[in-house]
A and B are shown apart, each in its own frame.
Chain A
Amino acid sequence: MSLVLAYLVILAAALLSVPFLTVKWKGLATVAVVAANAVIISLLAANALMGEETLLTLSGTSVTGEIPIRIDALSGWFMLVINFTMLTGALYGLQYMKAYREQAANLSLHCTAYLLVQSMLTVICAVQNSLVFLFAWEIMAVSAFLLVIFEHQKPEVLRAGINYLIQSHLSIVLLTVGFIWVAYRTGSFDFNAIAGFSEQMGEASAFVLFGCFFTGFSLKAGFVPFHTWLPYAHPAAPSHVSGVMSGVLIKIGIYGILRMVLLVKTDFTLLGYFILFTAVTSGVYGVMLAILQHNLKRLLAYHSIENIGIIGIGIGLGTIGIGTGNPLLTTLGFAGALLHVLNHSLFKSLLFFSAGNVYQATHTLNIESLGGLVKKMPHTAVLFLTASLAICGLPPFNGFVSEFLIYAGLYKGLSGDSTVLLLSMVTALFGLALIGGLALLCFTKAFGVVFLGSPRQALRHPPGEAVQGKLVPMYAVLALMVGIGLFPGFFLEAMHGALTLFQLKMPGGEAAAGMPLPQGVRQLAAAIGWCATGLLALAALVIFIGIKMAGRTSVVKGPTWSCGYVGDASRMQYSASSFVRTYRKLAEPLFSIHKKKRAVEGIFPTDGWQETHPYDKVEAWLIDLPLRKLKAFIGRFRFLQNGNPQFYILYGVVFITLVIVIPLLVGAVEQVMEFLGKL
Chain B
Amino acid sequence: MLSLILILLASLFFTGIVVRVKSLASGRKGPGILQPLKDVWRLLRKGTVFSETTSFVFQIASSIYFVSVLMAIMIVPFGKMKGLISFDGDFVFFAYVLALGKFFSIIFALDTGSSFEGMGASREALYSMLAEPAFFVLMGSFAMLTGHTSFHGIFTSLHFSSHVSYALGVLATFVLVMIAMIENSRMPIDDPKTHLELTMVHEVMILDNSGFGLGLFTLAVSLKFAMYGAIIANFFIGDVPWHYAVLVFFAVQMIFAVAVGLLESFMARFRMGHNATFIFTLTSASLLIFFGVLLVMGKFI
Residues of A at the B interface (CB closer than 8 Å) are 371-372, 374-375, 378, 381, 385, 388-389, 392-395, 400, 403-404, 407-408, 410-412, 414-415, 417, 419, 422, 425-426, 429-430, 432-434, 436-438, 440-441, 443-445, 447-449, 452-454, 520, 523-524, 527-528, 531, 534-535, 538-539, 542-543, 545-546, 549-550, 553-563, 569-570, 572-574, 578-583, 586
Give the segment of B124-132, B162-170, B261-269 that binds chain A: B124-132
The A contact surface, by secondary structure, is helix
Report how far A499 CA is from B71 CA in the complex, Å: 32
Which residues 185-203 in B have Cβ within 8 Å of A in the complex? 197
Contact A539 B144 (CB under 8 A): no
Selected contact of A556 from candidates B50, B97, B121, CB within 8 Å: B50
Contact B140 A414 (CB under 8 A): yes
Selected contact of B290 from candidates A426, A538, A550, CB within 8 Å: A426
**Known contacts being A452-B110, A549-B212, A560-B53, is A441 close to B126, with CB within 8 Å?**
yes
Q: Which residues of A contact B53 (CB under 8 A)?
A: 372, 453-454, 559-560, 570
Contact B106 A553 (CB under 8 A): no
Residue of A nearest to B272 (CB): A582
When each residue 282-301 of chain B gets 1 if its CB lies under 8 Å from chain A and 0 otherwise, what string results? 01000100100010000111
Q: Which residues of B contact A535 (CB under 8 A)?
A: 67-68, 71, 97, 100
**Known contacts being A419-B294, A556-B47, A586-B276, is A429 close to B136, with CB within 8 Å?**
yes
**Known contacts being A436-B96, A452-B110, A531-B71, is A557 close to B299, with CB within 8 Å?**
no
Give the A-B pair count, Cβ closer than 8 A.
271
Report how far A553 CA is from B59 CA in the complex, Å: 15
Which residues 31-80 in B have Cβ within 8 Å of A in the complex? 44-57, 59-60, 62-64, 66-68, 70-71
Contact A546 B135 (CB under 8 A): no
Q: Which residues of B contact A433 (CB under 8 A)?
A: 95, 132-133, 135-137
A283 to chain B minimum Cβ distance, whole angstroms, is: 13
Q: Which residues of B contact A453 (CB under 8 A)?
A: 53, 110-113, 118
Given contacts A411-B143, A453-B112, A572-B114, 19 further A-B contacts (CB under 8 A): A381-B55, A404-B92, A408-B89, A412-B149, A438-B129, A440-B125, A528-B87, A542-B216, A546-B62, A554-B47, A554-B48, A555-B50, A556-B47, A557-B49, A559-B53, A562-B115, A569-B114, A578-B118, A579-B125
B20 at the interface (CB under 8 A from A): no
Contact B97 A395 (CB under 8 A): yes
Q: Which residues of A contact B180 (CB under 8 A)?
A: none
Contact A389 B100 (CB under 8 A): yes
Contact B107 A448 (CB under 8 A): yes
28 A-B residue pairs with CB within 8 Å: A372-B53, A374-B111, A378-B56, A394-B99, A394-B100, A394-B103, A411-B92, A414-B144, A419-B301, A429-B133, A432-B136, A444-B121, A454-B53, A527-B90, A528-B87, A535-B100, A542-B64, A543-B63, A546-B213, A554-B47, A556-B48, A557-B51, A560-B54, A562-B116, A570-B113, A574-B110, A579-B110, A579-B125
Report how far A673 CA is from B139 CA in the complex, Å: 79
Report how far A553 CA is from B92 CA in the complex, Å: 39
Contact B136 A440 (CB under 8 A): no
Among all A-B residue pairs, the 10 with the closest Cβ atoms: A574-B118, A437-B129, A448-B110, A453-B113, A554-B47, A527-B87, A437-B132, A433-B136, A553-B47, A542-B63
B178 to chain A minimum Cβ distance, whole angstroms, is: 16
Report how far A404 CA is from B147 CA in the complex, Å: 18
B118 to chain A minimum Cβ distance, whole angstroms, is: 3
B102 at the interface (CB under 8 A from A): yes
Selected contact of A449 from candidates B92, B110, B128, CB within 8 Å: B110
Q: Which residues of A contact B44 (CB under 8 A)?
A: 549
Contact B140 A426 (CB under 8 A): yes
Q: Which residues of A contact B50 (CB under 8 A)?
A: 555-558
Q: Which residues of B contact A528 (CB under 8 A)?
A: 87, 93
Q: Which residues of A contact B97 (CB under 8 A)?
A: 394-395, 531, 535
B6 to chain A minimum Cβ distance, whole angstroms, is: 20
Q: Which residues of B contact A425 (CB under 8 A)?
A: 140
Contact A430 B113 (CB under 8 A): no
Contact A550 B89 (CB under 8 A): no
Q: Which residues of B contact A408 (CB under 8 A)?
A: 88-89, 92, 149
